[in-house]
Structure 1
Amino acid sequence: MEDSNSATGKRTGADRQRDFAERQKAAGYKRTTVWIHEETAKEGIRAARAGKPLEPMESKDPLSWAAGWISEKGKQ
């Protein structure tokens, strides 16, 4: 792979990002965009703080709720 600044040996942030994306793709990952409903994510955070289990299916947006719950549990 040819870096954009190969003559100087310096790699730009864009070079590193491109290489990272290629490694992730080779490892089986797919890049996608996810919209998170902020209030529902906060509900998940509050549930995690209260020691409640990961049960997001009754919320407005289960993915957002789970993201909040997981984010908070990762901090504990």
Structure 2
Amino acid sequence: MVTLIKFEDAPPTVCTEGAYSGNLLDEPITVRRVPADYDLLRAAALSPEASLSTAAAAQRSSTTSRRRPRP
């Protein structure tokens, strides 16, 4: 997750969060780039339906490949 935090009396900061960690980024150039970078990621992302379909296909493939004996 990425959050842009704006303050009345201080420069903006970006907070990035993962499953087990988080970071605060306050470098001005980094903070300025985050909205555009996020927009690029959103543009490249699959729709929720396509994501589910892709995940289901990967699961089927994984299950099928485990059943086949190795040569």
User: TM-score, normalized by length of structure 2?
Assistant: 0.28
* Higher relative contact order structure (alpha carbons within 8 Å, sequence separation ≥ 6): 1
Q: Which has the higher strand share?
A: 2
Q: What is the TM-score when the length of structure 1 is the normalising length?
A: 0.27
